[in-house]
Structure 1
Amino acid sequence: MDNLNVLGTSNRVTLRWVPGHSGIDGNEKADALARRGAETPDCGPEPFCGIAKQHAYSILKIHCNRQALQEWQSTSGQIHSKALIKGYRKKFTKELLQLNKYKTSAVTRILTGHCKLNKHMFTLGLSQTAMCRLCHETEETAMHILCSCGPLMHRRSIYLGQHIMQPEEIQMLPAQKIWKFLESTGLSGEL
């Protein structure tokens, strides 16, 4: 490659593709060198892996993601978080980090259930009731607010796409949509 660059400094160089085994001297030499390279035993530290670096990175990334997901799923507790967070999602992480600190914090708290909603505050002994302040029908959890609280159906439909949602559907939403919904409810300050 260096020779080609030197040659190109004072000459016009055109590279052309030539079909293999076409009887052209330079190409026949290239074929012979390629064949010799393919027949040469691998060298380097064991275990030697004769694959492209990018392919190895891809395999490693898939393995790490699977292992992280398996660990996330097998960890005890965190029932609320596991219901609303599928596991590591690169796209969601990027979206979340594009929000400002306040919004990122609010979305994180609602998805983990560690927020100032009545059920969590009641569990901590900081609220007189665990009941939902909006519908007064069930415990006020993050999952209830995000998925099924009756008075929030219209807002949920506008911002999240449906009146009633399943946790699996929340898992796939962009961070910005979750924030917009929370902001519209007036509960974002409670998170």
Structure 2
Amino acid sequence: MDKMLAGEAYLAGDPELVSARMRAKSLCHRFNLADPAYPAERMAMLSELLHCAGDAHIEPNFFCDYGFNIHLGENFYANHNLTILDVCRIDIGDNVLFGPGVVLSAATHPLDPVERLHTESGAPIGIGSNVWIGGNVSVLPGVTIGDNCVIGAGSVVNRDIPANSLAAGNPCRVIRSL
């Protein structure tokens, strides 16, 4: 687990990691099937997985690898179908909104096909405060999105986005300052 958290090559089939993933997937499954009429009870299930600084609301379906690497600031909202591959730490600031279908992937794989059969690695993701990420955005390993940014729907964020930016596209590029 230490290698994974450090962003080094690790074996995903390690029994400790498999156990942690199965625990997270089981909790996500329970969350996704919970009655939507009781959002507080539903979110309480995720408190066993995620680090929440304050109020958070995630619409089902929600999927993650481990959960314990996800740190949410206050007043977080995610629309349906959020997927977070949290093999490394993922920090999300205060007052952040996600549209539907957002993917945060800290996970990556070697380019060499032989190495890829045996190991994977990752890099942390950081999202500042007061950020709005539109629907169907993918944020790739090692990316930082600064405070007060808006990321347009359908973007693939493969590089850092400076604070106070409107950015969009594939690859995502800054369109203008806000």
TM-score (structure 2 length as normaliser): 0.25
Higher helix share: 1
Q: What TM-score comes out, normalization by structure 1 length?
A: 0.24
Structure with higher strand content: 2
Highest CA radius of gyration, 1 or 2? 1
